[in-house]
Structure 1
Amino acid sequence: MSSSLLIAIDGPAAAGKGTLAKRLAVHYDLHYLDTGLLYRAVGRKAQAESLDLDDPDQMTTIARALDTSDLDEASLRGREAGELASRVAAHPGVRAALNAFQRDFARQAGGALLDGRDIGTVICPDADVKIFVTASAEVRARRRTDELNAKGRTVIYEKILEEVRQRDDRDSNRAVAPLKPADDAHLLDTSELDIESVFREACRLIDAREA
């Protein structure tokens, strides 16, 4: 396996890309970055410092100073952090700073794996392997519903399904870095696959490229 291997994992919410990305990073001994946490971390830091999330200059300053250690807070995966992220992501300066952060991470010695929504198309268009992980909206909504219910939250499948479809529409039709597979990405539909099957198929794709 190449010591400078760069893997880009993209896909919509609840498709299973995060679970897959973590396993692949361990399997291939690569530096791993969940890029979805970056905007959440900026929002959280701004909130902690009582800054105005709608101030582009303040938010850009926070984004430029971001460090990987800022991504370890458990609360970044909560609903509130997601709402904060959507506000700070509207600032072009924040996006430019975090794009630079991701590209610097990808250039690390020893190789890297990044997962997100525009890694293969915008952040790392020259990645060695690009995998676009997807699943039907219905399957993703069921997974998200089961996940939230398991955490003690009472949620309704139909409402989650509507939220998934709305988010897909926003992500796919936004003007900047829309969610879409790169032209040379491998499509991996996880709708009918369990975790082990998804992992094996991804390894097959990566190993075939390396061979």
Structure 2
Amino acid sequence: MGGLARVCGILREGWVMAGVLHGVVAMDGPSGTGKSTVSRRLARELGAAYLDTGAMYRAVTLACLRAGLTAESPAAEISRAALAAELHSVTDPSAPKILLAGEDVEAEIRGEAVTRAVSAVSAVPEVRDALVARQRAYIDQARAGIVVEGRDIGSVVAPDAKLKVYLTASEEVRAARRNRQDAKAGRSADAAATLADVQRRDRLDSTRKTSPLHAAADALVLDTDEMSVDAVHTELLRLVADRGMVS
């Protein structure tokens, strides 16, 4: 049997017999590429931990907003509030969440206020250094494998990851996906405004001085414009099997 068959079992029979992931899968890319969906699904199927690093940046952004700061506040004040935030990431892919001072803020960090401010907070070098250290600690604590998603996982957080994947898609496709997610979650969705925000975040994330958004030199770039979630998932299973990361 080939690598994919060993991991998946007999998909055509409607069931999956998954192995267990060993090592780190680094999933990078801009928002709206399907990173969260496929990363959680991969981790859940392969008995691995799952870490959403973007949620960590969103949570410290929420801490800054609650402290009365804005995206235009001095970097020193942003850094002070962010570093004082009590964060805990639940890495169970079946029920991932982020806690801020013990409070589940998973829903609140997806709101418009945090979305508009998170790129500015994430660009502060001291904030990135502190959160990268925390992210590496979660990776080290994983008992077996872990799927980590973000924007600088393969290039900065886990440069030695055995599998690095960079998901991409056009701005229009990503904006449409985010609109659907917002509508499903009961948040207001405006197509033009969402597209403008996607373009704004891409510009900020790719031009910041510290850990700008880009694919690691040894990452596999996967364009998801025409790919379904199932298709991306199947490709990821093939890749982890080919790299011998599943037992």
- Which sections of structure 1, spanning at least 5 residues, go unmatched? none
CA distance in 1, matches of 2:144, 2:41: 17
CA distance in 1, matches of 2:172, 2:79: 40
Amino acid at match of 1:75: E
CA shift digits 1:26-75 (9 cap, x unpaired)? 11111111101112212333555x46564156325424x42225164221
Contact 1:56–1:93, Cα closer than 8 Å, also in 2: no
Identity %: 39
Contact 1:43–1:84, Cα closer than 8 Å, also in 2: yes
Alignment pair present for 1:168 and 2:202:
yes
TM (norm. structure 1) is 0.86
* 1:16 paired residue among 19, 22, 34: 34
Residue 89 of structure 1 corresponds to 122
Contact 1:172–1:178, Cα closer than 8 Å, also in 2: yes
TM (norm. structure 2) is 0.75
Compared with structure 1, are the counterparts of its residues 12 and 47 closer, same or farther at alpha carbon in structure 2 (3 Å cutoff)?
Answer: closer
Alignment pair present for 1:184 and 2:184:
no
Residue 99 of structure 2 corresponds to 70
Alignment pair present for 1:35 and 2:53:
yes
Amino acid at match of 1:161: L
| Greater mean deviation of Cα atoms: 53-62 or 4-13 | 53-62
More helix by share: 1
Count of aligned pairs between the two proteins = 209
- Which sections of structure 2, spanning at least 5 residues, go unmatched? 1-18, 90-97
CA distance in 1, matches of 2:198, 2:222: 19
Query: How large is the Cα RMSD of the aligned pairs?
Result: 2.4
| Equivalence map 1:1-211=2 (5 Å) | 4-48=22-66, 50=67, 54=73, 55-56=77-78, 58-63=80-85, 65-68=86-89, 70=99, 72-73=104-105, 74-108=107-141, 109-153=143-187, 155-210=189-244
Amino acid at match of 1:66: L
Contact 2:20–2:48, Cα closer than 8 Å, also in 1: no
User: By how many angstroms is 1:169 displaced?
Assistant: 2.0
Decide which structure has the larger Cα Rg and report it.
Answer: 2
User: By how many angstroms is 1:91 displaced?
Assistant: 3.4
User: By how many angstroms is 1:92 displaced?
Assistant: 2.7
CA shift digits 1:132-160 (9 cap, x unpaired)? 11111121122223333444555442332
